[in-house]
Amino acid sequence: MLTRRAAFNSALICAAVPFAEACSAAAGDGNDRSLEEFERPSETYATATLRRAFDWAARQKSATIRLPIRRTLLLDEEIQLPSRLSLIGDGSSTLRQVKPGLRALVADDVEDLFLEGFGVRGADIAALFEPERRLDKSGEAPRLVTDAGLVHVRSTRQGASRQIVFKHVDFGNAFNLLAVRGAIDVLIESCRFSDWLLCGALAPGCSQVRATGNLFQGCVQRRGYTAYAFSATGDAARGFPQHDLQFIRNIVRDVPSWDGFMTHEADGVTVEDNQFINVRNGIDVSSPRGAINGVSVRRNKIIHAASDPWGGSAASHFSIAVAADPSAPMIQTAVIEDNISIGANSVSGLTSGGFAIGALSLSRVQDLTVARNQFLRIGDMDSRLKSPKGYSAISLFDPGSRVTIEGNEGSGSLDRYFIEVHHARKRAETISITGNKFRSSRPMPSLVHFVSGDFQGVTLRGNTLTSSAAAPREYEIERSNTQIGFKIEPI
């Protein structure tokens, strides 16, 4: 007989198991009951039924509760989930919270929680559009409005909740849909997130998080305000560092006001093989204060939104940002390869993404590789502003040493620089820029621009610019504030 632990581990490592097989595999060690066994006559809401079922499950070593087929179960209160629970549906049933602003399912300091094969829907999301109207007596908006999920897993310390799995769960219609805080070993796989206002899923202060094969579609935020498909931020100062975060093979659609993926202060970040469609910003890996080490951003496709919910007001705009603020430690080791950016710099109201501005906004990164990325239909919106912001395809602000930029290509109406290396506060050594190509319909003067800093051990080879400028150049240097030493003099 398959043990409960073996079923849990198989869910973590076997992403390709068919849905029906996964449901049967999670049956556990015999403590397997239907929710219908806990129902009582004449109960309008399923709240009491679920509580009876979960009270029974809490007394077991481990337990499986199976939801009835093709049912909508109404909740009028929040339901607490116990540890060592599998809550399983066949994909046809939904838990619906009918009270605006309330969570549906809550778990505090739990282990071995496995949710699969059902929907969870919030009440009318319109009630949450204006959280500032829902004030308590002190005049402060309730924390519930800003940081709670419709399904919410909490931890009093990092790791107090661990081994949490969500598979084939359909989340919808809430301010935040899924929130997992401070947990270790979290899998979010093949789920659907729709109709949220701030976050589709957030996993702050968690470690060993894998989100794979999910669909995030239809953020309802249409005004100038932040919103995210997936968000995870570390807070090491309070005991919640972020380690080992993987966001792989997900599809994100329709977050026109802000980010598809965002994380702050995380080590070991992997963002690979995702699609971001109709987003203002694609991928944001940044830090206002803490350290970031080990970033891999590969084979993602970002198609930018053409609309501007900000109404022309200044708001960040980038395809990929890997950036540390000047007060934060320099980022150590980042690889950005084989990504495709489409339609960057084509919306109004541009401003810097941190301290770099570009389709790739790279700020204070050491041991950096940027290779074989493509930039298609990159625009010239920054040049139309009253005070041009200076948008580039690849922008390196205050770079560290050991930087390689090779084999990147693009085309569009961008008219400033394809690559800009600027504002190094300390000497940056060993910078290699080779084999990059760009074709602009506007008079771009140079492919590479160096300004403000001391750059040594620089290699420039095989870079090509085609533009409507009279004599486009491979590179230019602002000599008044820049020192540069070539490892080999350019031809």
Ramachandran angles phi, psi of 461, nearest 5°: -150, 135
Enter the DSSP assignment of 100.
T
Whose CA is closest to 76, among 113, 104, 37? 104
Rounded CA-CA distance 61/38 in Å is 19
Q: Which residues contact 300 (CB under 8 A, 6 or more apart)?
A: 271, 272, 273, 274, 275, 276, 282, 283, 320, 339, 340
Rounded CA-CA distance 105/102 in Å is 9
Q: Which residues contact 24 (CB under 8 A, 6 or more apart)?
A: none
**Domain parsing of the chain, residue ranges:** 1-150, 203-491
Ramachandran angles phi, psi of 61, nearest 5°: -65, -40
Burial per residue of 439-457, b for 16 or more beta-carbon CB atoms within 10 angstroms, e otherwise: ebeeebbbbbbbbbbebbb
Whose CA is closest to 393, among 136, 404, 376, 47? 376
pLDDT per residue rounded down to tens, the chain (491 residues) = 444 445 445 544 444 344 444 444 444 456 999 999 999 998 999 999 999 999 999 999 999 999 999 999 999 999 999 999 999 999 999 999 998 878 999 999 999 999 999 999 998 675 543 343 343 444 444 333 456 789 999 999 999 999 999 999 999 999 899 999 999 999 999 999 999 999 999 999 999 999 999 999 999 988 888 899 999 988 777 788 889 999 999 999 999 999 999 999 899 999 999 999 999 999 999 988 888 999 999 999 999 998 888 877 778 899 999 999 988 999 999 999 999 999 999 887 676 445 568 899 999 999 999 999 999 999 998 887 776 678 999 999 999 999 999 999 999 999 989 999 999 989 999 999 999 999 999 999 999 999 999 999 999 999 999 999 999 999 999 988 899 999 866 76
Q: Which residues contact 386 (CB under 8 A, 6 or more apart)?
A: none
Enter the DSSP assignment of 309.
T
Quick one: which H or E segment has residue 56? helix 47-58
pLDDT for position 12 = 45
pLDDT for position 277 = 98
Ramachandran angles phi, psi of 38, nearest 5°: -105, 5
